[in-house]
Chains A and B, each alone.
Chain A
Amino acid sequence: MTTNPTVQLQRAGARTLARLLLKTGVLFLILNLLFAWSNPLPALGRISAYNNLLPGRTRLPYGENPARAYNLSLYSLPAMLASHELAAAPVPVSASEFRVVVIGDSSVWGYLLPSADTLTAQLNRSNTTMPDGRLLRAYNLGYPVMSLTKDLLLLDMARSFTPDLVVWCVTLESFPTDKQLFPPLLQNNPDAVRALAARYALRTAVDDARFVQRDFLARTLLGQRRNLADLLRLQLYAPLWAATAIDQEIPETYVRRMEDLPADLTFAGFTPGTLTQQDLAFDVLAAGIEAARPAELLLVNEPMFVSAGANSNLRYNFFYPRWAYDQYRSWLADAARENNWRYVDWWDAVAAAEFTDSAVHMSPAGTGQLANKLAAALVTAAASPH
């Protein structure tokens, strides 16, 4: 054994470091095991500064450039809902409120629209009084991806807030069966999607390869660090949402929707005569109407841009060849009639000039036109329940 004091001190330091590393390692391991075992992410997602310390968001979190949008896309459904103003809405609904939840794609969410100009914001601004004297209060549960299954998932979440009426804005792009699980939001919530598929006997493949299946390591603290960071970042953007009411980066200029169209007759890989009703997710649509009960559901074939440019005799717009869209409208109208669904077909209700960067995104004025029609339809629906 050495008696050299320098060596002894050296060894003492090494022992201290070794003890420290060992303790840190063991603590880290225990935390990871506990995390993987208890899966606390959903519970953590429900803890929110929104609606408690700061105002809730008027639309679901979605952001491609968080630093400029003060918003971000994440996969935690509990966190998304907890940040929404709907999470603070009283249940049961107060006697003076006629609660409407609007679901749909980016046109409902309000892509390129400030939060004050979305469809639901303009509906609320209309101060519409329903026939029974209640004031219309609309909540925006749109989300900027096109899939009826995604809409159904959000509708299913909205049920606990007991809406009086659900508005479901749809368009053909959300219907193709093989596109249903395309949104990452669905792929990252396989259990919720499978539960829906089982409850409503959907044709959705419950063993779809796109579902994200987390092994044990991916469920640990280390494996979930990105999702955990997203939860934290969503909270950290709450002050800027409260301070600015900004939840989307809206560029001053953008590429306008295509006026001159390609001479292409295909839609989602289908050529004229090959598309069948089975290729569209009418089962999901029926499930949504079932899921909304006891609330009524107003199905809206949402407005779209109708081009007058080159090849507009073949296509309505970049999304749709005329043959596919006409067929879809016909099938949708038939299904609504056969099933006694409350349905309005407003495909051409908004002027072409009011569409911005895509066939379904509208300007504030275009959204206002839709809001006026919708408010009137809601009054009618409330006056004559099915």
Chain B
Amino acid sequence: MTLVQVAALAALAAAARFSGSLERPAVRTWILCLSSALVLFLLQPVTGVRQLDYWLPLGTLLMCGAVWAITRPAAQGLAREDTVTATAVAALCVAVSLTRYLAPELRFSTGRAPPSEIVALVLAIFAGLMALTLRHKGRDLGSLPAVLAVLALFILLKTDALATLASSAVRGLTGQDTTLASSSDLRWLGFSYIAFRLLHALFEFRNGKMPALTLREFLAWVIFFPALVAGPIDRAARFSQDLRAPLAPADTDLRAGIGRIASGLAKKFVVADSLALFCLNEMNAAQVNSTVWLWILLYAYALRLYLDFSGYTDLAIGIGNLFGVRLPENFNAPYLKPNLTQFWNSWHMSLAQWFRAHFFNPATRALRASPRNLPPALIILITQLATMLLIGAWHGLSAGFLIWGFWHGAGLFVHNRWAEWMRPRMAALAPTPRTAHVLQVAGAVLTLHYVALGWVWFAIASPQLSWSVMLRLWALA
């Protein structure tokens, strides 16, 4: 998001709050649902494929509609308000496509939208399919295929070769030059976060924990615009509580919201964007002529990544506050944590919690229940490595991200074993508060450097270059 976009969205939130229109939960949900749907179109990056910058946001809305239909409680019939919401969102999509006839600066989609009659046809076909799904709602026929479909789409978008192949196919359909196909053609606004919210809904539904949400509430949760670009990944049950609860005093939300927005602006647009000019990257990694400078650039990268990401989180939480939504925290001073486990309890917390809830804990339970009687250490090794590899893959299915995931999985396992080994010894030693503090600081320094070294794999796509940087950091090459 640009500074102007952030300012416009914050102003929209403040205006909505002080117009008094957010007081009634139903109206608040309407505003959040429709404004978020509109922002989906407005913020979608331009792609190299004709009209795709319209179809991708529309695809997001259709996916949300499908998953909502699948995850609704079986006994619940189609309420009138859901029909009204679906009609309003469909009308909004058609209205956005109608702006294709306006001058580019007046359009609501970044490129030129497809003809409205085609949009209307697609929406009608989708509505028909949804009606069929809802008619057979007695049994869960759709949640597993939906999980697989979202995962397949996720893998397709996150794998460079597959995304390029898909881009080539789409370019073929639109009559564009397929030799120019690139994975960047499929830049889909917020897909990583939207997909994980949809998966959360599907998993919760399969576990019988998904709250009953209206279509409007479901859309407001999945595409809540402040959290589109960089999360956090909120849980449906928590988010819907906020939607239904009375608003806190405006004064309180305003102080909290504006403070967070100011903090986010400073972190992201002042410090992180400045650090971005000279932090470690693919290009300068090969050009730096000394080990000391390589370390400085790596520290700059680590700081920039944190400030950029946590700055976006501050903006999301701040704008959320103005709407009366308390998004979960995503960061809690991660670089000051004394060990890697605590680091992962305070870095991108909502993603880590998602994986803990939907993968790590179920996988650990399954392995413990396994008749093979696996040793606990092996179970920890398998689950931690697998979880961190998946978190790496969430960023992109490339060697660099997978090695980064492995780096952290291995680090978490080593820390787990070390902590186990040290526990009785520390109890016997009974360190003084001063010694404990020194150990804490030493742990923080060690953890920070382990994490910073891990960023080498994250920042540089080529594992060969990353390895070379690793060696040069230790003056070994």
Contact = CB atoms under 8 A, between A and B. Distances in A.
Interface stretch (A232-240, A263-271, A318-326): A232-240
Given A13-B250, A236-B277, A245 B289 contact: yes
Contacts of B287: 243-244, 246
Contact of A14 (B250, B277, B284, B293): B250
Interface stretch (B17-25, B224-232, B418-426, B447-455): B17-25
B234 interface: no
Nearest to A232: B274
Interface string B235-268: 0000000000000011101110010000000000
- Place the interface of chain B in its size category: 20 to 34
Contacts of A70: 278, 284
B278 A240 contact: yes
Interface string B295-320: 01100100000000000000000000
Given A232-B274, A236-B277, A242 B251 contact: no
Contact of A9 (B251, B258, B300): B251
Contact of A17 (B18, B277, B294, B300): B18
A68 B286 CA distance: 13
A16 interface: yes
A330 interface: no
Interface of A is mostly: helix
A10 B284 CA distance: 52
B274 A68 contact: no
A117 to B, nearest CB: 16
Given A17-B18, A244-B284, A10 B278 contact: no
Contacts of B254: 13, 16-17
Interface in A230-266: 232-233, 236-237, 239-240, 242-246
A237 B255 contact: no
Interface string A1-40: 0000010011011101100100000000000000000000
B278 A236 contact: yes
Contacts of B432: none
A10 B20 contact: yes
B56 to A, nearest CB: 27
Contact of A237 (B250, B251, B278, B300): B278
Interface in A216-240: 232-233, 236-237, 239-240
A114 B258 CA distance: 48
B253 A13 contact: yes
Interface string A312-335: 000000000000000000000000
A83 to B, nearest CB: 15
Contacts of B23: 6, 10
B370 interface: no
A239 B293 contact: yes
B250 A12 contact: yes
A214 B56 CA distance: 45
B18 A240 contact: no
Contacts of A20: 258
A345 B401 CA distance: 60
B250 A242 contact: no
Nearest to A241: B278
B354 to A, nearest CB: 33
Nearest to A13: B250
B283 interface: yes
B81 to A, nearest CB: 24
Nearest to B286: A244
B381 interface: no
18 contacts: A10-B250, A13-B18, A13-B250, A16-B251, A17-B14, A68-B283, A233-B277, A236-B278, A239-B293, A239-B300, A240-B284, A243-B278, A243-B284, A243-B287, A243-B288, A243-B297, A244-B288, A246-B287
Leading 8 A-B pairs by shortest Cβ distance: A13-B250, A243-B293, A9-B249, A244-B287, A236-B277, A13-B251, A239-B278, A243-B288
